[in-house]
Amino acid sequence: MLCELKVENLALIESLHLHFDQEEGGGLVVMTGETGAGKSIMLRAIHLLMGGRAQADWIRNGADQCVVEALFVVNANHQDLLQALQESGFGDETSVILKRVLTSSGKSRLYVNGSLATAKMVSLLADNLLNVASQHDHQQLLQPALHLDFLDALGEHWEERAQVATVFGQWQQKKNELVLLRQQERDKEQRRDFLQYQLAEIQQIGPVVGEDEDLAAERKRLKSADALIALSQRVYRFFSTTLVDGLFEVRRDMEQVVQLDAQVEGLTAEITAYSYQAEDFVSQLRSYKDSLEHNPARLEQVNERLNGLHHLKRKYGETLEAVLAYAAAAESELQLIDNMDKNMSELEAVVAGLEQELLRQVAALSAKRRQTAGQVTKAMAAELASLAFSHSGFEIRFQGHEQVQEQGIERVRNNGWDRVEFFFSANPGEAARPLAKVASGGELSRLMLAFKCLLAKKDMVETVIFDEVDAGIGGEAAEAVARKIQELATHHQVFCVTHLPQIAARGNTHFRVAKQMEQGRTVSSFSLLAHEQRVDELARMLAGDSVSAQTRAWAQELLAKGKSGQAGQKEKGNVCPR
């Protein structure tokens, strides 16, 4: 349940700190005020806390940032939420603090229990903490495509539906693989011939990694053979005659010098070693010189080999490594083609097995949905009766159900094969027609409230927020809606932004939202009303500026009726910390 809400610099709110103390109040918190006073700002704050998209112009003019913070106390039985908090590193306490900081530059940060969090993480947590129903939500009832979601939510079929979606995805994937394999099977002979030709072409040339680089270097030598022969011969003649003969005389003279002066023994040894090394150079130069030849035939062979390798690289890869990898892949594909019949039989068996499992799960889900539809129809009749629809008719119809079953797998989607639509009749004697064609705005509001009440009794969300869901309602219907919201507050914490005095009178806690000028600027304020102030507010809601003693008496009567309704409320399990 929501225990505290702090808002700073959001729209017309400069600073706001609200406490929702369950021990002092009850389950229904109402907020009233003139149109435009700022009641919707609280909903905007909740939107931010739920990870919704933010806009920089929501920040109060002149402020650098706005901050929204809320304290929730989680029911100890809500193990899924507590486990999600712990696994996400947000602690294992039953107190949860959500915080959103929005800067004027458009940057936004979210925190859970003081730790940074992503919008997706916060959204998942918030979905388990509170549920917001706005005056626009009833438009969902006008979309038959969403009716199946309502039914699955009421029947708690999401787990079975997720299983169907998983098997459907597996079946679709394997079916697509089978379609592709069958297409390949039709073209396999042509593909086999093509791959064999390519593989033979690569194997005929037989490339070796690095061979192209070696051949390029050899071609360069062969093309430069005349120049290399001339240069190497000139260097060889110099080394083998002039240099070696001179070094021989130097070595002989130094041997005589060292006999006369031992101090040059080291130098003599180095010169002797150098002269012998020069003789080694002569031997190496001779071998290199003799290896050189003008060989046009070999040059032609090298060019031909290089052309063949370049041809492979143009067709199968930029390098010889890529060419060989392509050859290996072609061999693997040829092996697959050889095994295609076996693989196709195995894949057909897998697809058939998944198809049978999918049909089994879809049929089981459909049976549960039909059972749920009957239960929901009865439950909705009771809910609608309590909302001044005593003679209405509500039906959940399965569109073409038998035909869908006959067509089988072809009509299955990831949510099953059921197509449902809500039918409604507001007046006795009239046949039920598609809800989207017959329900008025006020009727849709009450229908959505009935759905919300049914859902609230099933889920673990403790806080429900209604934002002017009373639009288009008056008279007896308004009183019925007020009773229904008060009934919902017996097992949930309920916030209701309302213009109806019948609903406002039934609140355990009543805040009035007002706009005033402070230092030349407009500011919205939230005031917790005492009994007499509530009488004044209800009288204003009843008569506007024409409040009379009779109006105040009526307001007091509404408050008394509201308190009598509160007497039957159950004790809550959670208590907000003080």
pLDDT tens digits, residue range 138-195? 667 778 888 898 899 888 898 999 999 999 999 999 999 888 888 777 777 788 888 9
Q: What pLDDT is attached to residue 24?
A: 41
For residue 136, pLDDT beyond 70: no
Distance of CA 303 to the CA centre of its chain: 58
Secondary structure letter of residue 427 according to DSSP: S
pLDDT of residue 256: 85
Residues 342-353 pLDDT 10s: 888 889 999 999
pLDDT score for 239: 82
Q: Identify which of 415, 366, 363, 368 has the alpha carbon closest to the alpha carbon of residue 146.
A: 415
Is 404 part of a structural domain of the chain?
Answer: no
- Name the average pLDDT for the chain: 84
pLDDT at 356: 92
**Whole-angstrom distance, CA of residue 281 vs CA of residue 284:** 5
pLDDT at 120: 87
Residue 21 has pLDDT above 80, yes or no: no
- Tokens representing 225 are 């053979």
- Name which of 46-50, 122-126, 395-399, 404-408 the model is least confident about: 404-408
57, burial (CB in 10 Å: exposed 0-12, middle 13-18, buried 19+): exposed
**pLDDT surpassing 90 at residue 121:** no
d(C-alpha 11, C-alpha 55), whole Å? 11
Interval 364-370 mean pLDDT: 92
The pLDDT of 572-578, averaged and rounded, is 59
Given a contact cutoff of 8 angstroms between Cβ atoms, the answer to whether 444 and 138 are in contact is yes
Residue 253 is assigned to a structural domain of this protein: yes
> Is-contact 481 452, C-beta < 8 A?
no
Choice between 474 and 22, residue whose per-residue pLDDT is larger = 474
Among 90-99, 399-408, 450-459, the least confident range: 399-408
Residue 157, domain member (yes or no): no
Burial code of 351-372, b = ≥16 C-beta within 10 A, e = fewer?
beebbeebbebbeebbebbbeb
Region 267-290 average pLDDT = 85
> What is the largest distance, in Å, between two alpha-carbon atoms of the chain?
144
Instruction: Give domain status of residue 233, yes or no.
Output: yes
- How far apart CA 388 and CA 139 sit, in angstroms, is 21
Q: Say if 290 falls within a structural domain.
A: yes
User: Apex CA 549: angle with CA 543 and CA 553, to 5°?
Assistant: 85
Nearest Cα neighbor of 406 from 390, 397, 417, 395 is: 417
pLDDT of residue 253: 82
pLDDT (tens digit, 9 = 90+) per residue, 76-118?
777 777 888 887 888 878 888 999 999 988 888 999 998 898 8
The pTM assigned to this predicted structure is 0.62
Q: Which residues contact 302 (CB under 8 A, 6 or more apart)?
A: 215, 218, 219, 222
Residue 545 has pLDDT above 50, yes or no: yes
Return d(Cα 282, Cα 40) in angstroms, integer: 99
Half-sphere exposure of 267 (CA within 13 A, CB side): 11
Closest CA to 527 of 135, 38, 126: 38
pLDDT tens digit sequence for 238-267? 887 888 778 888 888 888 888 888 888 888
Cβ proximity of 123 and 84 under 8 Å: no
Please give the pLDDT value at position 426.
79
DSSP, res 508: S
The dihedral through the CA atoms of 10, 12, 16, 20 has a sign that is negative
- Region 461-472 average pLDDT: 76
Q: Summarize the confidence of residues 462-477 as an average pLDDT.
A: 76
Decide which of 565 and 29 is more confident.
29
**Pairing mode of beta strands 28-33, 493-497:** parallel
Question: Does residue 235 have a pLDDT over 50?
Answer: yes
In what helix (H) or strand (E) does residue 88 lie, and over which residues does it extend? none
User: Is 37 in a helix, a strand, or coil?
Assistant: coil
**Residues constituting the chain:** 578
Task: Classify strands 115-117 and 433-434 as parallel, antiparallel or unpaired.
Answer: unpaired
CB-count exposure of residue 297 (10 Å: 0-12, 13-18, 19+): exposed
Q: Does residue 439 carry a pLDDT above 70?
A: no
Residues contacting 423, CB < 8 A, separation 6+: 393, 394, 395, 396, 397, 432, 433, 434, 435
Query: Encoding tokens for residue 126?
Result: 């918030």
Q: How many helices (H) and strands (E) does the chain have?
A: 20, 15
Q: Break the chain down into helix, strand, coil percent, rounded to 5.
A: 60, 15, 25
Q: Could you tell me if residue 406 is inside a domain?
A: no
Task: Report the pLDDT averaged over residues 458-467.
Answer: 78
How many structural domains comprise the chain?
A: 1
Q: Identify the three-state secondary structure at position 87.
A: helix
Q: Which pLDDT band, with edges at 50, 70 and 90, does 25 fall under?
A: very low
Q: Is the pLDDT of residue 512 over 80?
A: yes
Q: Is residue 296 assigned to a domain?
A: yes
Average pLDDT over residues 570-577: 56
Q: What span, in angstroms and rounded, lies between the C-alpha atoms of 316 and 77?
A: 64
Domain that holds residue 213: 190-332
Buried-exposed string 553-573: b where 16+ CB fall within 10 A, e elsewhere: ebbbebbebbeebbeebeebe
Taking only the tens place, the pLDDT of each residue in 57-77 is 889 888 889 999 999 888 777
Specify the higher pLDDT residue, 311 or 565.
311
CA 130 – CA 127 distance, rounded (Å) = 6
In a domain, 228, yes or no: yes
The fraction of the chain above a pLDDT of 90, given in percent, is 22
Complete DSSP assignment for 309-321: HHHHHHHH-SSHH
The answer, yes or no, to whether residue 562 has pLDDT greater than 90, is no
The mean per-residue pLDDT over the stretch 560-564 comes to 80
